[in-house]
């Protein structure tokens, strides 16, 4: 899945970095030189994107030999080796930065996601991502969320129904929006409605929604929403979710918590490549 998209993305990234050629490597590394490189964690992290990094190296030179020393989802400590690559030294050095860019970004998402998941340990809550992703990277970033122990929300506008505030305004109300979706949607996807107040929650439930997104509610209102829903409908909390408050949100009794921060605010983790010249 997404094989063509990945090839295109890697190709564009390499074109951006290499351009007409890697001048420094061409001037300093003999074309016949053979070497070995290791990608090493420089801080504790959760790994994601290791197969993407491998693909980058093989795109530059298909004769390189690679060993993936850890799998996506693995925790890595400082100094731990993640990937080994052997072969043409010039190719290894040319591919290094692009491979690291993918791996650092995606591992950053997985690491942040695991932090959120750990915060809600021993609850039944699932941590979800959103569509707040880097354009063109969504399939990779959502895979990184899963590597970190999270779950994927809808992938795009085509595989899930979420009636948001602007849809409600355009349709003339929550009930009208739900009825309109039921009338025109033939695939029978579950219908979720975004609400901001307890009155809207009651309207969404009475309109026959399958799930409700509690948007930017404070903790007390959210807890009251859980009580009023009484387990009759799936409840998702979203908006303003942070590592500092996610446990409080989970303890209200909601079923799902979605956080755009997993993808739009994750920092790239620190890792580097160490190279040994073999011959």
Pair 211, 249 in one domain: yes
Pair 241, 147 in one domain: yes
Q: Low-confidence residues of the chain, pLDDT below 70?
A: 1, 186-187
CATH number at residue 203: 3.20.20.70
47: its two tokens: 């790994």
Q: What CA–CA distance (Å, rounded) separates 103 from 52?
A: 7
- Counting the structural domains of the chain, the total is 2
Q: Can you give the pLDDT at residue 270? A: 98
Q: Can you give the pLDDT at residue 95? A: 98
> Known catalytic residue: 63?
no
Nearest CA among 116, 88, 110 for reference residue 30? 88
Pair 165, 259 in one domain: yes
What is the span of the domain harbouring residue 219?
117-264
Q: What CA–CA distance (Å, rounded) separates 213 from 192?
A: 7
Pair 130, 255 in one domain: yes
CATH number at residue 31: 3.90.1170.20
65-95: b (≥16 Cβ within 10 Å) or e: ebeebbebbbebeeebebbebbbbbbbbbbb
Q: Of these residues, 36, 42, 75, 97, which one is catalytic?
A: 97
Q: Can you give the pLDDT at residue 1? A: 65
Pair 42, 61 in one domain: yes
Phi/psi at 202 (5° precision): -60, -40
Pair 107, 122 in one domain: no
Q: Of these residues, 36, 42, 75, 132, which one is catalytic?
A: 132
Q: Can you give the pLDDT at residue 136? A: 95
> Known catalytic residue: 215?
yes
Pair 152, 259 in one domain: yes
Pair 79, 177 in one domain: no
Q: Of these residues, 72, 129, 194, 236, which one is catalytic?
A: 194
Pair 257, 271 in one domain: no
Q: Can you give the pLDDT at residue 187? A: 67
Pair 202, 186 in one domain: yes
């Amino acid at each position: 899945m997404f094989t063509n998209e990945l090839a295109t993305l890697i190709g564009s990234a390499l074109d951006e970095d290499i351009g007409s050629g890697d001048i420094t490597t061409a001037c300093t590394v003999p074309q016949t030189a053979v070497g070995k490189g290791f990608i090493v964690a420089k801080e504790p992290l959760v790994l994601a994107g290791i197969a993407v990094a491998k693909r980058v190296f093989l795109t530059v030179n298909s004769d390189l030999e690679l060993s993936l020393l850890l799998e996506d989802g693995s925790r890595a400590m400082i100094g731990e080796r993640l990937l080994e690559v052997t072969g043409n030294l010039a190719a290894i050095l040319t591919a290094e930065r692009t491979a690291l860019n993918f791996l650092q970004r995606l591992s950053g998402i997985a690491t942040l996601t695991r932090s959120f998941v750990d915060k809600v340990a021993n609850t039944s809550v699932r941590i979800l991502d959103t569509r707040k992703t880097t354009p063109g990277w969504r399939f990779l970033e959502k895979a990184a969320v899963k590597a970190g122990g999270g779950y994927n929300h809808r992938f795009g506008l085509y595989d899930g129904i979420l009636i948001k505030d602007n849809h409600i305004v355009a349709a003339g109300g929550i009930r009208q929006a739900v009825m309109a979706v039921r009338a025109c949607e033939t695939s029978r996807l579950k219908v979720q409605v975004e609400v901001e107040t307890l009155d809207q929650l009651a309207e969404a439930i009475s309109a026959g929604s399958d799930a409700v997104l509690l948007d930017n509610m404070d903790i007390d209102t959210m807890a009251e929403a859980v009580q009023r829903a009484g387990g009759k409908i799936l409840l998702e909390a979203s908006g303003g979710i942070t590592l500092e408050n996610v446990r409080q949100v989970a303890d209200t009794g909601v079923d799902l918590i979605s956080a755009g921060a997993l993808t739009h605010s994750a920092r790239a983790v620190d890792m580097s490549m160490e190279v040994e010249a073999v011959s």
